[in-house]
Amino acid sequence: MAIWAKGGAFVIATGWGVARCEGSVESIFRFPTDGLRRDQDPPDLLSFVMLDDDGRRALVQRHGEPPALWTDAEGGGALTPCAPDGILGIAAAPGGPMVALTVDEIQGEVRRIVLCPARLEDNRILLGAPLHFKNARRLEWSSALFREGRGWPEHAARNSDNGDDDDDSGEPPFDPHALNVQGRGQWGPWWSGTVQLFANRFGVAVSSTYSGLVAVLDPRTLAVKLTVRVPVERTQFQVFVLPVPEGALITLVANYRHTEFVFVDASGAVRAHRHQFGDDLSWGSDGPGLAWNEETALVSQALDDEQLHVLTLPALSARRFDKEPGYLIDCGSSDDGSIHLLARTERNYGRPHNWRLERWTRQGHRFASQDLPMPDFRRSSAPPTPPPAPRVEGTPALAVIADATTTWRTGLDEQSTLLVQVSNRGGPVSGLWVEIGGQAITEARVLVEDIALESGPASGFVTRGNIARAELPAVSLEAGFEIPAKLPEGEAPPQQPSLTLVLRVRGKRPGQALLTVRVGPRGGASTAGSGMVGKSFVVEG
């Protein structure tokens, strides 16, 4: 959860930036976008831990990046990198001690992901001894996701269905008490499954799809309160854990779709489970939900449309939270649970400027809601203008096409206006010549009258043999742009310099014949650098 709330202030952190809001005062820090395309999303936010009671100092971490210290200040604040590297995630209950995921080497060979107590000194994260999770009992219930006895990694055949020749001999023996263990094969080191952290006012939780391990720690002492194992798949499978006063609400999601909720009490026993809301399957939940109070939790449902549902604890009876659409993309609560902030959105609208932000404040036995403006993490300033593309030097290279809006047709003794577009992919042009030819000229079906720029004076034609020629000495065209053989992904080539010529002809003999228009640069040799277009011209009698 990356939303902090206290009184009238709140802080919301995303992969785009961190914002602190209090009343009408808004301070937004935006992560740099260096190296990102304009249409590319930044890395998702991985961890967020508030460090003070005023909401002005926090540790933030995006996927693939080390943690950094955010400090609020005028102008959006600043971000300071933290040492050491190798921190895979951090979490803490509000006002409680912090834990961090890191990689530990056992006997110099086997690398494991471990969970350690952590504290921040200056800009360094100091780690304590790894926590150990022993005697994790398997949870037994009639699961809608797994047949009885299925889903336990120690029983799964490695690569049983891929039929390839990968060498998995480097995989160490399975450890049911480990969060993750690194294997080594012919393609190098690899991890099986994922490890995630969760925290709220009721505790700190960790889950693993390597072993199915789920553990909940005391929010103040980090003592292990609950350790169990759930059946899992190591790919496209998620295990979310919501600490609650008397245990944990565990959400299992297969293939980002099929969802099952399991309530486990403090003794490690399954008290209730749910895989449906009415006649609809539980579907598409992508987070642990929100502990609304000691007896209820909010979770998302996304089968036909996105909804929020209330689950009672421990029975997991369900009802619709409200009639508003949207799933819970992020949320947060005050230390005492008297204030909840919900960020909702709909599928395919995951960028923060699409979120709807609500503050729910306890008033007696009820909560009153208030819509809040969502901070805008988009940069308001226009992106810097890229440097101009280099121009071509040397001989012009003209291309000529007929404008698609004009028809090459006229009546007998009637005038027709043809638009011809000329572009340049070569060196600069100073003056043009235009030659009109084809059977329409040799058979005297068309009389060429004049030619001009769209907004310039007309020039007449002189007919010599089967060619009508005109000179446009005052017309110029800039040099074309140099275009590399392969452009960067998503980048369009620059538009080449171009102009439009207006050609007027008159029909003299009924019939149909080819009419050609060739345009070339003045001063060139013969037809060098010229371009031509030809179309059938019709004179209706």
pLDDT tens figures, 185-200: 777 888 888 999 999 9
The two three-digit tokens of residue 524, written as one number: 């060139």
CA triplet 199, 204, 207: central angle to 5 degrees? 95
3-state secondary structure of 358: strand
Residue 510: both structure tokens together: 């009924």
Domain range for 439: 398-481+496-540
Question: Residue 138 forms beta bridges with which residues?
Answer: 229
Q: Amino acid identity, residue 78?
A: A
| DSSP letters for 428-443 | -EEEEEEEEESHHHHT
Residues 343 and 244 occupy one common structural domain: yes
Q: Which amino acid type is present at position 85?
A: D
For the chain of 541 residues, list the mean pLDDT of each consecutive stretch of 10. 91 96 93 86 95 96 94 90 90 96 78 95 93 93 90 68 49 89 83 94 97 97 97 91 97 96 97 96 95 97 93 97 94 96 92 94 94 88 69 94 91 94 95 95 94 87 92 93 84 90 94 95 89 95 81
The pLDDT of residue 165 is 47
| C-beta separation of 410 from 416 below 8 A | yes
In a domain, 170, yes or no: no
Radius of gyration of the chain from Cα atoms?
Answer: 35
Give a yes or no: residue 169 inside a domain: no
Residue 387 resides in a domain: no
Residue at 466 is within a domain = yes
Are 330 and 420 part of one and the same domain?
no
Q: Confirm whether 134 is domain-assigned.
A: yes
Contact (Cβ atoms closer than 8 angstroms) between residue 58 and residue 13: yes
Longest dimension (CA), the chain: 104
pLDDT for residue 109: 67
The residues near 164 (Cβ < 8 Å, ≥ 6 apart) are none
Q: Which pLDDT belongs to residue 158?
A: 46
- How much is the pLDDT for 238? 96
- Six-digit token pair at 165? 């020749």
Does a structural domain hold residue 162?
no
Q: What is the pTM of this model?
A: 0.70
pLDDT at 383: 57
pLDDT score for 243: 98
Distance of alpha carbon 530 from its chain centroid, rounded? 46
Q: What is the CATH number of the domain that holds 136?
A: 2.130.10
Phi, psi of 280 (to 5 degrees): -90, 140
267 and 201 inside one domain: yes
Same domain, 368 and 405: no
Residue 354, SS3 per DSSP: helix
Q: Are 301 and 414 found together in one domain?
A: no
Residues 363 and 402 in one domain: no
How many domains, the chain?
2
Please indicate, yes or no, if residue 19 is contained in any of the structural domains. Answer: yes
Separation between Cα atoms, residue 419 and residue 251, nearest integer Å: 66
Answer whether residue 166 is part of any domain.
Answer: no
436 and 316 together in one domain? no
How far is 225 from 378, CA to CA, in rounded Å?
Answer: 42
Query: Residue 535's domain is classified under what CATH number?
Result: 2.60.40.10
Q: Do 421 and 354 fall into the same domain?
A: no
